[in-house]
Amino acid sequence: MRAIVCRTIFLASLVAAPFALHAADKPRVRVDTNRGSFVIELEPERAPLTVELFLQYVNEGFYNGTIFHRVIQGFLAQGGGFTPDLEPKPAEKTVPNESGNGLSNLRGTVGMARSNEPHSATGQFYINLNDNLDLNPRPTRWGYAVFGKVVEGMEVVDEIGHVPTGAGGPFTRDLPVETIVIERIALVSE
């Protein structure tokens, strides 16, 4: 009987091992804001180029001191591209659009913002405050590439998603009335 139990545990560990390795391969970053912190788990297998660029910016400190400049209640919160004085933070690189990677724009997922040009994403990212399936690709058009999801602190993101917004600087609407600063984004060490 003991041999059967040991074999069962051994076989179960072999089956579970790939899943444990897969989870360990997903880097996490901690986003510290003046409203609280949250953690994003990245998807390098599904969006390798986007994750690589995002982590490069994280490691360079690019996002430190930027703001959430676009918040639409029930839709998304977008940040990483402007300073608190509403000056654009120039990002030098673009990343090819990796939408259609099997990840959907569901509540809590993180995607790369872009203009109408499908391959124009630079550094700005957004967090879905709701399921936004209209941002997914369709056979006739590109979508917006999801590259991660909030795994801790979604209540902080929800708080950000409910702040009053208005016009300011170059924005005619959706700018938080009280500045929401991304103080720091850093890789979480396991």
Alpha-helix residue ranges (DSSP H) falling in the chain: 2-24, 48-60, 154-160
In CATH, what number is assigned to the domain containing residue 160?
Answer: 2.40.100.10
3-state secondary structure of 108: coil
Average pLDDT of the residues in 3-24: 43
In a domain, 16, yes or no: no
Strand duo 109-112 + 146-152: pairing: antiparallel
- Residues 158-187 pLDDT 10s: 999 999 999 999 999 999 999 999 999 999
- Residues 120-158 pLDDT 10s: 999 999 999 999 999 999 999 999 999 999 999 999 999
Quote the CA–CA distance of 125 and 139 in Å, as a whole number: 24
pLDDT at 6 over 70: no
Domain count along the chain: 1
pLDDT for the residue numbered 7 = 44
pLDDT for the residue numbered 190 = 63
Contact 105, 135 (CB under 8 A): yes
In a domain, 182, yes or no: yes
pTM: 0.87
Range of the domain at 104: 26-187
